[in-house]
């Protein structure tokens, strides 16, 4: 090709490209379905794609079937994008994000005794394709029936045992749930066996989102429905409109859910913004893509390059440092309360931690500032001084620290004073000197930050005479949750809320949740010789430990659960103090933050406090920059 011909070709190419771009621009100006309320509000425009890099895998715990799915990131996708519940959240940061507001229904009428909740479903709320029909009270009832169907494995189904007749339905003794009635298509009445101040928050969980019976009943095994999910929110899984729901046999897995690579959501044409509020959902992007990427560094490179808008990963230390120290990047580093506590757990049945004075001394001596540094400093969280994160107790325990020390570096003298009261300090010099204090088995994780915490922990315990024998594990939870292992102390544990009520933390201390394996009450609070016999762990625990004199807080938990709305926080705060001062099962050290890094294409971003992830309902992107 001659130079002249080449230049002509290039000129033609440029003209065609510009024409194509202009045509593309006019197309993007078309108003997308369901976005009329949001067009160009305050400089934020509808349109574009919100791409999220997901590390390794979606990690769904139940195949994305809302009945059993128990993963926080899935909760955020459901609540923000796909599923509307009878009542829901605003999906914003802070206390306002934890407040329950109307969604498919108005806030319910609650009977004087606090036992009956009557919801009225709004007009015009619809299931998306392939059904495109009004959501009824029967769909809400069916969601509860799914929770009570054992084969569908509702992983947090225990939250709904408080509904009258649920246990009979679960066990197959009854065909219906006697405590739920649907007098008409719009009304659903739920009766409880005892008052539960947090019941509305339970109703706001994804498992309670209405499910269309005609599709849901096609799937009898746990997790199967996730690939066929019918949307009730502003978005739907891509391919929903190609689905044929005329019979169970014609249903096919949705094309937008490739279980190991991509989860794509597009606008739901049956979503009517008039039935929702912009306070809860603004729905700016036309499309959401959750893309699996096994390379953590690559995720952050792509966010920086604008190839992803957001990430579901954990920022690498060098990424965190870069964004926190570069002024032009600071706006793209988002730090919010994770409503999660990280802690060292002590086993009340095993020496030397079967002595409360040793546990108190351990709390006093621990260099929590050192542990925070191992995590990456204050960006990763504030130092925790009690069980429940402060934000969940509405400030009740903001300044509470039963084991204070200067700069949280540990108070060795105070710790020794407590150790002197222990039976394991035989010469009363403030050091643990009994044989049980040497080679104390300690489980932790074999990755950072736990490996970085280890020197700090060992040095702290040595100051009171305790020598740890540490095992660094790739899989920390499985052996640590096995009661028969009788592990005295473990440092890999953390716990986040299910919803913003302290009850979701107190389950960790409830003796009724004790299990031989998969146990989450690591300290074994409330364990009695009888319960230990039921769990078949007597021999394992008494080989070196004891089952005598282990305190229980079951009655306190029951009292707080039934407490009226205004008294709940105070009740839980008092229980938190009792745990920290009288029982002392933990050394809490970090109220973790959730850190997100976003791309330069993101023009609006918020944090969903209720789910603990990005508020996808409120994000917006600069579509022209994509």
Partner 1 sequence: MGRYIIRRVLWVALVMLIVTFFAFLIFYVMPTADAATIFAGRQPTPETIAEVRKQFGLDKEWYEQYGKFVSDIVTGDEYGWPGFNMSYATRAPIRETIFDRVGVTFQLAVGAAVLWLAIGIPIGIVSAIRKGKMPDRIGMGFALFGVSAPVFWLGIMSLFIFWHKLQWTPGTGYVPFGEDPGEWFGHMILPWGVLSMLYAAVYARMVRSNLLETMGEDYIRTARAKGLKESRVIGKHGLRASLTPVVTMIGLDFGVLLGGAVVTESVFNMNGLGSFLINSVRVGDLPSVTAVIVFAAFFVTFLNLIVDIVYAYLDPRVRYA
Whichever of 24 and 43 has its CB closer to partner 1, that residue is 24
Q: Give least dist CB 301 to partner 1, A.
A: 7
Whichever of 59 and 250 has its CB closer to partner 1, that residue is 59
- Residues near partner 1 (CB under 8 A): 56-63, 65, 68, 70, 150-151, 153-158, 170, 221-224, 226-227, 253, 258-261, 292-295, 297-298, 301-302, 305, 307, 475, 478-479, 481-482, 507, 513, 515, 517-518, 520
Give the DSSP per-residue string, 133-150: -B--HHHHHHHHHHHT-G
Whichever of 194 and 297 has its CB closer to partner 1, that residue is 297
Q: Give least dist CB 291 to partner 1, A.
A: 8
> Is the Cβ–Cβ distance between 572 and 502 less than 8 Å?
yes
Q: Give least dist CB 198 to partner 1, A.
A: 15
Q: Give least dist CB 153 to partner 1, A.
A: 5
CB within 8 A of 148, min separation 6: which ones?
Answer: 154, 157, 160, 166, 169, 170, 177
Whichever of 290 and 424 has its CB closer to partner 1, that residue is 290
Give the DSSP per-residue string, 179-191: TEE-SSSSEEEEE
Whichever of 137 and 601 has its CB closer to partner 1, that residue is 601
- CA-based R_g, the chain, Å: 27
Determine if residue 123 is left, alpha or beta; phi over 0 gives left, psi from -120 to 50 gives alpha, anything else beta: beta
Q: Find the Cα–Cα–Cα–Cα dihedral 54, 56, 61, 62, rounded to 10°.
A: 80
Whichever of 324 and 519 has its CB closer to partner 1, that residue is 519
What is residue 541's DSSP assignment? H
Tell me whether residue 409 is exposed, middle or buried, using C-beta atoms within 10 angstroms of its C-beta: 0 to 12, 13 to 18, 19 or more: middle
CB-CB neighbours of 394 under 10 Å:
15
Cα–Cα distance measured from residue 589 to residue 403, given in angstroms and rounded to the nearest whole number:
11
Whichever of 469 and 517 has its CB closer to partner 1, that residue is 517
Whichever of 482 and 562 has its CB closer to partner 1, that residue is 482
**Partners of 53 in the beta sheet?**
291, 311
Sign of the alpha-carbon torsion through 59, 61, 63, 66: negative
> Is the Cβ–Cβ distance between 251 and 145 less than 8 Å?
no
Q: Give least dist CB 17 to partner 1, A.
A: 16
Whichever of 188 and 392 has its CB closer to partner 1, that residue is 392
> Is the Cβ–Cβ distance between 520 and 480 less than 8 Å?
no
Whichever of 53 and 381 has its CB closer to partner 1, that residue is 53
Whichever of 36 and 314 has its CB closer to partner 1, that residue is 314
Q: Give least dist CB 519 to partner 1, A.
A: 9
> Is the Cβ–Cβ distance between 608 and 614 less than 8 Å?
yes
Give the DSSP per-residue string, 223-239: TGGGGGPPP-SSEEETT
Cα–Cα distance measured from residue 299 to residue 313, given in angstroms and rounded to the nearest whole number:
8
Cα–Cα distance measured from residue 51 to residue 33, given in angstroms and rounded to the nearest whole number:
20
Q: Give least dist CB 57 to partner 1, A.
A: 5
Q: Give least dist CB 211 to partner 1, A.
A: 16
Cα–Cα distance measured from residue 271 to residue 595, given in angstroms and rounded to the nearest whole number:
31
Whichever of 515 and 625 has its CB closer to partner 1, that residue is 515
Per-residue tokens: 322: 């870069």
Q: Tell me the backbone φ, ψ of residue 571, rounded to 5 degrees.
A: -65, -45
- Among residues 145, 131, 155, 137, the alpha carbon closest in space to that of 63 is found at 155
Q: Give least dist CB 394 to partner 1, A.
A: 24
Q: Give least dist CB 228 to partner 1, A.
A: 11
Per-residue tokens: 281: 């959902």
Q: Give least dist CB 589 to partner 1, A.
A: 21
Q: Give least dist CB 221 to partner 1, A.
A: 6
> Is the Cβ–Cβ distance between 121 and 137 less than 8 Å?
yes
- Among residues 568, 599, 421, 547, the alpha carbon closest in space to that of 505 is found at 568
């Amino acid at each position: 090709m001659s130079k002249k011909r080449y230049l002509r070709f290039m000129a033609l190419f440029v003209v065609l490209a510009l024409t194509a771009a202009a045509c593309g621009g006019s197309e993007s100006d078309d108003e997308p379905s369901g976005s009329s309320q949001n067009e160009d509000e305050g400089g934020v425009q509808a349109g574009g794609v919100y791409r999220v890099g997901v590390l390794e895998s979606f990690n769904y715990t139940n195949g994305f079937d809302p009945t059993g799915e128990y993963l926080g990131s899935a909760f955020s996708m459901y609540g923000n994008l796909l599923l509307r519940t009878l009542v829901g959240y605003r999906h914003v940061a802070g206390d306002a994000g934890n407040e329950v507001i109307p969604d498919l229904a108005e806030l319910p009428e609650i009977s004087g005794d606090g036992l009956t909740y009557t919801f009225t479903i709004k007009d015009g709320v619809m299931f998306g394709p392939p059904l495109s029909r009004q959501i009824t009270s029967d769909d809400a009832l069916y969601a509860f029936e799914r929770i009570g169907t054992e084969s569908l494995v509702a992983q947090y189904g225990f939250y709904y045992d408080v509904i009258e007749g649920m246990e009979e339905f679960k066990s197959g003794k009854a065909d219906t749930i006697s405590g739920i009635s649907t007098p008409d298509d719009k009304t659903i009445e739920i009766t409880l066996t005892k008052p539960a101040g947090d019941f509305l928050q339970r109703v706001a969980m994804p498992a309670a989102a209405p499910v269309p019976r005609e599709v849901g009943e096609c799937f009898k095994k746990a997790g199967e429905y996730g690939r066929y999910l019918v949307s009730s929110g502003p978005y739907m899984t891509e391919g929903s409109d190609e689905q044929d729901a005329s019979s169970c046999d014609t249903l096919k897995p949705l094309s937008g859910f490739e279980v190991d690579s991509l989860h794509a959501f597009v606008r739901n044409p049956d979503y009517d913004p008039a039935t929702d509020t912009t306070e809860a959902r603004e729905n700016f992007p036309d499309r959401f893509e959750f893309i699996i990427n096994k390379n953590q560094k690559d995720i952050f490179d792509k966010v920086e390059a604008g190839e992803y808008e957001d990430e579901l990963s954990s920022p690498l230390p060098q990424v965190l440092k870069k964004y926190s120290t570069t002024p032009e990047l600071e706006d793209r580093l988002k730090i919010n309360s994770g409503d999660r506590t990280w802690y060292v757990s002590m086993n009340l049945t095993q020496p030397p931690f079967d002595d409360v004075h040793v546990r108190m001394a351990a709390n006093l001596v621990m260099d929590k500032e050192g542990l925070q540094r191992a995590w990456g400093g204050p960006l990763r969280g504030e130092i925790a001084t009690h069980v429940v994160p402060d934000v969940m107790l509405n400030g009740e325990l903001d300044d509470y620290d039963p084991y204070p020390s200067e700069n949280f570096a540990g108070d060795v003298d105070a710790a020794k004073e407590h150790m002197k009261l222990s039976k394991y300090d035989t010469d009363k010099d403030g050091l643990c000197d009994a044989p049980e204090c040497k080679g104390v088995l300690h489980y932790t994780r074999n990755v950072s930050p736990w490996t970085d915490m280890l020197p700090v922990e060992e040095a702290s315990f040595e100051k009171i005479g305790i020598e740890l024998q540490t095992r660094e594990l790739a899989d920390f939870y499985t052996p640590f949750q096995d009661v028969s292992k009788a592990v005295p102390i473990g440092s890999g544990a953390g716990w986040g809320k299910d919803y913003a009520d302290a009850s979701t933390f107190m389950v960790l201390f409830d003796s009724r949740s004790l299990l031989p394996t998969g146990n989450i009450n690591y300290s074994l609070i409330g364990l009695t010789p009888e319960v230990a016999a039921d769990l078949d762990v007597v021999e394992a625990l008494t080989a070196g430990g004891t089952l005598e004199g282990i305190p229980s807080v079951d009655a306190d938990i029951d009292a707080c659960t039934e407490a009226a709305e205004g008294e709940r926080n105070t009740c839980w705060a008092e229980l938190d103090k009792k745990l920290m001062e009288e029982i002392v099962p933990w050394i809490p050290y970090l109220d973790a933050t959730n850190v997100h890094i976003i791309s330069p294409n993101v023009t609006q971003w918020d944090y969903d406090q209720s789910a603990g992830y990005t508020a996808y309902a409120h994000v917006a992107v600069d579509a022209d920059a994509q």
